[in-house]
Protein backbone atom coordinates (compact mmCIF):
# COMPACT_ATOMS: atom_id res chain seq x y z
CA UNK A 1 0.00 0.00 0.00
CA UNK A 2 1.51 3.29 -1.11
CA UNK A 3 1.10 5.82 1.69
CA UNK A 4 3.22 8.73 0.48
CA UNK A 5 1.48 11.70 -1.11
CA UNK A 6 2.91 14.71 -2.88
CA UNK A 7 1.35 17.42 -0.72
CA UNK A 8 -1.59 18.37 1.49
CA UNK A 9 -3.96 19.14 -1.39
CA UNK A 10 -3.63 15.60 -2.75
CA UNK A 11 -3.79 13.99 0.70
CA UNK A 12 -7.09 15.69 1.64
CA UNK A 13 -8.62 15.60 -1.85
CA UNK A 14 -11.46 13.21 -0.94
CA UNK A 15 -12.56 15.02 2.22
CA UNK A 16 -16.05 16.25 1.45
CA UNK A 17 -18.83 18.43 2.85
CA UNK A 18 -20.29 17.27 6.20
CA UNK A 19 -17.37 14.97 7.07
CA UNK A 20 -16.15 14.65 10.67
CA UNK A 21 -12.50 15.54 11.16
CA UNK A 22 -10.11 15.13 14.08
CA UNK A 23 -7.34 17.73 14.05
CA UNK A 24 -4.29 17.26 16.24
CA UNK A 25 -2.52 19.94 18.22
CA UNK A 26 -2.84 21.87 21.46
CA UNK A 27 -3.28 25.60 21.07
CA UNK A 28 -1.12 26.32 18.04
CA UNK A 29 1.47 23.69 18.96
CA UNK A 30 1.67 20.70 16.65
CA UNK A 31 -1.27 21.64 14.44
CA UNK A 32 -1.45 20.30 10.85
CA UNK A 33 -0.83 23.70 9.23
CA UNK A 34 -0.51 22.44 5.65
CA UNK A 35 -3.70 20.36 5.77
CA UNK A 36 -5.69 23.19 7.33
CA UNK A 37 -4.50 25.54 4.58
CA UNK A 38 -5.52 22.96 1.97
CA UNK A 39 -8.96 22.55 3.56
CA UNK A 40 -9.44 26.32 3.53
CA UNK A 41 -8.49 26.45 -0.15
CA UNK A 42 -10.77 23.51 -0.97
CA UNK A 43 -13.69 25.38 0.61
CA UNK A 44 -15.72 22.42 1.83
CA UNK A 45 -18.56 23.18 4.25
CA UNK A 46 -20.61 21.81 7.16
CA UNK A 47 -17.67 20.06 8.80
CA UNK A 48 -17.69 18.67 12.30
CA UNK A 49 -14.25 19.33 13.81
CA UNK A 50 -12.92 17.51 16.87
CA UNK A 51 -9.96 19.40 18.29
CA UNK A 52 -8.72 20.46 21.70
CA UNK A 53 -9.23 24.08 20.67
CA UNK A 54 -10.30 26.24 17.75
CA UNK A 55 -7.07 28.04 16.90
CA UNK A 56 -7.00 31.83 16.82
CA UNK A 57 -8.79 34.26 14.52
CA UNK A 58 -6.20 34.26 11.74
CA UNK A 59 -4.47 30.92 12.16
CA UNK A 60 -5.21 27.23 12.55
CA UNK A 61 -8.86 26.15 12.65
CA UNK A 62 -9.71 29.83 13.05
CA UNK A 63 -9.14 30.16 9.29
CA UNK A 64 -11.81 27.53 8.66
CA UNK A 65 -14.22 29.22 11.04
CA UNK A 66 -13.67 32.53 9.27
CA UNK A 67 -14.81 30.93 6.01
CA UNK A 68 -17.87 29.34 7.70
CA UNK A 69 -16.62 25.84 6.90
CA UNK A 70 -17.31 24.43 10.36
CA UNK A 71 -20.85 23.46 11.34
CA UNK A 72 -19.99 21.90 14.71
CA UNK A 73 -16.97 22.21 16.97
CA UNK A 74 -16.19 19.55 19.59
CA UNK A 75 -13.50 20.99 21.85
CA UNK A 76 -12.14 21.39 25.34
CA UNK A 77 -10.79 24.96 25.30
CA UNK A 78 -11.92 27.73 22.96
CA UNK A 79 -11.00 30.95 24.72
CA UNK A 80 -8.56 32.46 22.19
CA UNK A 81 -10.83 32.91 19.17
CA UNK A 82 -13.11 35.94 18.88
CA UNK A 83 -14.75 34.67 15.68
CA UNK A 84 -15.56 31.40 17.41
CA UNK A 85 -17.20 33.37 20.23
CA UNK A 86 -19.21 35.46 17.77
CA UNK A 87 -20.49 32.43 15.85
CA UNK A 88 -21.35 30.60 19.07
CA UNK A 89 -23.32 33.50 20.56
CA UNK A 90 -25.13 34.18 17.28
CA UNK A 91 -26.18 30.54 16.91
CA UNK A 92 -24.22 30.05 13.69
CA UNK A 93 -21.96 27.40 15.21
CA UNK A 94 -22.93 24.29 17.16
CA UNK A 95 -20.50 23.67 20.01
CA UNK A 96 -19.94 20.69 22.30
CA UNK A 97 -17.56 21.49 25.15
CA UNK A 98 -15.91 18.45 26.73
CA UNK A 99 -13.57 18.09 29.73
CA UNK A 100 -10.05 17.77 28.36
CA UNK A 101 -9.41 14.34 29.83
CA UNK A 102 -12.68 13.06 28.42
CA UNK A 103 -11.76 14.42 24.99
CA UNK A 104 -8.45 12.55 25.11
CA UNK A 105 -10.02 9.34 26.38
CA UNK A 106 -12.78 9.34 23.74
CA UNK A 107 -10.01 9.60 21.12
CA UNK A 108 -8.15 6.75 22.78
CA UNK A 109 -11.29 4.60 22.95
CA UNK A 110 -11.85 5.05 19.21
CA UNK A 111 -8.28 3.97 18.54
CA UNK A 112 -8.62 0.92 20.76
CA UNK A 113 -11.91 -0.14 19.20
CA UNK A 114 -13.89 0.48 22.39
CA UNK A 115 -17.47 1.77 21.90
CA UNK A 116 -17.60 3.82 25.10
CA UNK A 117 -15.85 4.76 28.33
CA UNK A 118 -17.01 5.59 31.85
CA UNK A 119 -15.61 8.67 33.56
CA UNK A 120 -16.39 10.64 36.73
CA UNK A 121 -15.67 13.90 34.90
CA UNK A 122 -18.85 15.86 34.29
CA UNK A 123 -21.13 13.92 36.63
CA UNK A 124 -23.71 16.27 38.13
CA UNK A 125 -23.00 19.05 35.64
CA UNK A 126 -24.46 20.20 32.30
CA UNK A 127 -22.04 17.82 30.60
CA UNK A 128 -24.12 14.90 31.93
CA UNK A 129 -27.53 16.09 30.71
CA UNK A 130 -29.22 13.33 28.69
CA UNK A 131 -26.38 10.85 29.19
CA UNK A 132 -26.36 7.48 30.90
CA UNK A 133 -24.64 7.11 34.27
CA UNK A 134 -23.66 4.02 36.22
CA UNK A 135 -22.36 3.37 39.70
CA UNK A 136 -19.13 1.44 40.23
CA UNK A 137 -17.82 0.86 43.77
CA UNK A 138 -20.31 3.40 45.14
CA UNK A 139 -19.15 6.14 42.75
CA UNK A 140 -21.16 7.54 39.85
CA UNK A 141 -19.66 7.54 36.38
CA UNK A 142 -20.79 9.12 33.13
CA UNK A 143 -20.86 7.06 29.93
CA UNK A 144 -19.24 8.77 26.94
CA UNK A 145 -19.12 7.31 23.44
CA UNK A 146 -15.90 6.89 21.49
CA UNK A 147 -15.52 9.40 18.67
CA UNK A 148 -16.44 8.36 15.15
CA UNK A 149 -14.35 10.45 12.75
CA UNK A 150 -14.06 10.08 8.99
CA UNK A 151 -10.53 11.50 9.01
CA UNK A 152 -7.83 12.15 11.61
CA UNK A 153 -5.36 14.83 10.52
CA UNK A 154 -2.14 15.03 12.54
CA UNK A 155 1.27 16.65 12.42
CA UNK A 156 4.55 15.00 13.40
CA UNK A 157 8.18 16.05 13.40
CA UNK A 158 9.52 13.10 11.43
CA UNK A 159 7.98 10.16 9.63
CA UNK A 160 8.88 7.42 7.18
CA UNK A 161 7.25 6.11 4.04
CA UNK A 162 5.56 3.32 6.03
CA UNK A 163 3.77 5.94 8.13
CA UNK A 164 5.74 5.57 11.37
CA UNK A 165 5.74 8.89 13.24
CA UNK A 166 7.91 10.70 15.78
CA UNK A 167 6.57 13.81 17.51
CA UNK A 168 8.79 16.47 19.00
CA UNK A 169 8.37 17.66 22.58
CA UNK A 170 4.96 19.17 23.39
CA UNK A 171 3.78 18.77 19.79
CA UNK A 172 3.06 15.21 20.89
CA UNK A 173 -0.11 16.40 22.73
CA UNK A 174 -3.32 15.10 21.05
CA UNK A 175 -1.62 13.91 17.86
CA UNK A 176 -0.80 10.30 18.88
CA UNK A 177 -4.31 9.66 20.23
CA UNK A 178 -6.00 11.11 17.17
CA UNK A 179 -3.67 9.28 14.79
CA UNK A 180 -5.09 6.00 16.12
CA UNK A 181 -8.71 7.08 15.96
CA UNK A 182 -9.72 8.13 12.43
CA UNK A 183 -11.07 5.83 9.75
CA UNK A 184 -8.41 7.42 7.55
CA UNK A 185 -5.40 9.07 9.18
CA UNK A 186 -3.45 11.73 7.30
CA UNK A 187 -0.07 12.73 8.70
CA UNK A 188 2.03 15.70 7.65
CA UNK A 189 5.66 15.70 8.77
CA UNK A 190 8.54 18.13 8.72
CA UNK A 191 10.88 15.44 7.46
CA UNK A 192 9.96 12.31 5.52
CA UNK A 193 12.56 9.54 5.35
CA UNK A 194 12.67 6.09 3.73
CA UNK A 195 11.28 3.14 5.68
CA UNK A 196 13.84 1.69 8.06
CA UNK A 197 15.64 4.95 8.85
CA UNK A 198 13.76 5.69 12.08
CA UNK A 199 14.92 4.18 15.35
CA UNK A 200 12.02 1.85 16.31
CA UNK A 201 12.48 2.74 19.98
CA UNK A 202 11.69 6.38 19.19
CA UNK A 203 8.52 5.81 17.16
CA UNK A 204 5.42 7.19 18.89
CA UNK A 205 2.78 6.22 16.31
CA UNK A 206 3.27 2.92 14.45
CA UNK A 207 2.66 3.09 10.73
CA UNK A 208 -0.26 0.64 10.95
CA UNK A 209 -2.44 3.58 12.03
CA UNK A 210 -1.38 5.96 9.25
CA UNK A 211 -2.92 5.74 5.79
CA UNK A 212 -1.41 8.83 4.12
CA UNK A 213 1.76 10.79 4.78
CA UNK A 214 3.52 13.73 3.13
CA UNK A 215 6.31 16.15 3.87
CA UNK A 216 4.95 19.57 4.75
CA UNK A 217 6.44 22.95 3.84
CA UNK A 218 6.71 26.50 5.19
CA UNK A 219 5.76 25.81 8.79
CA UNK A 220 5.06 29.02 10.64
CA UNK A 221 4.88 27.41 14.11
CA UNK A 222 3.26 30.49 15.55
CA UNK A 223 3.40 31.01 19.32
CA UNK A 224 -0.07 31.55 20.77
CA UNK A 225 0.98 33.52 23.84
CA UNK A 226 4.51 34.74 24.39
CA UNK A 227 5.71 35.62 27.89
CA UNK A 228 9.09 37.33 28.19
CA UNK A 229 11.16 38.56 31.08
CA UNK A 230 11.22 42.26 31.82
CA UNK A 231 14.61 43.85 31.15
Looking at the domain assignment, is residue 105 inside a domain? yes
Residue range of the domain that includes 75: 8-115+147-215
Contact at 8 Å (CB) between 220 and 59? yes
Q: Which pLDDT value is given to residue 27?
A: 87
Closest CA to 156 of 39, 38, 32, 49: 32
H helices of the chain, in order, are 8-11, 33-42, 61-66, 82-90, 100-112, 175-181
Looking at residue 226, its pLDDT comes to: 78
Note whether residue 99 is domain-resident: yes
71 falls within a domain: yes
Rounded distance between C-alpha atoms, residue 115 and residue 143, angstroms = 10
For residue 124, CA distances in Å to 77, 131, 134 come to 20, 11, 12
Distance (Å, whole) CA 173 – CA 114: 21
Q: What pLDDT sits at residue 40?
A: 97
Query: Which pLDDT score, from 0 to 100, does residue 224 have?
Result: 75
CATH of the domain at 27: 3.40.1080.10
First vs last C-alpha separation in the chain = 56
**Domain contains 203:** yes
125 lies in some domain: no
Domain total in the chain: 1
pLDDT tens for the chain, residues 1 to 231: 799 999 999 999 999 999 999 999 998 999 999 999 999 999 999 999 999 998 898 899 999 999 999 999 999 988 778 899 999 999 999 999 999 999 999 999 999 999 999 999 999 999 999 999 999 999 999 999 999 999 999 999 999 999 999 999 999 999 999 999 999 999 999 999 999 999 999 999 999 999 999 999 999 888 777 788 887
- pTM given for the model: 0.93
Residue 87 Cα distances to 63, 67, 108, angstroms:
13, 11, 29
Instruction: Please indicate, yes or no, if residue 224 is contained in any of the structural domains.
Output: no
2 in any annotated domain: no
pLDDT at residue 174 in the model: 96
- Residue 104: inside a domain, yes or no? yes
Amino acid sequence: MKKTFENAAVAIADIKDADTLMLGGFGLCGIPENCIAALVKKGIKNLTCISNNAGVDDFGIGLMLKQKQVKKMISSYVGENAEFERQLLSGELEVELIPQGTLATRCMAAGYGMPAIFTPAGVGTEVAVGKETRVFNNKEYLMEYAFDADFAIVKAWKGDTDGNLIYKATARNFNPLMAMAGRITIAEVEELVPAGELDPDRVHTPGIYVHRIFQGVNYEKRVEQRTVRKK
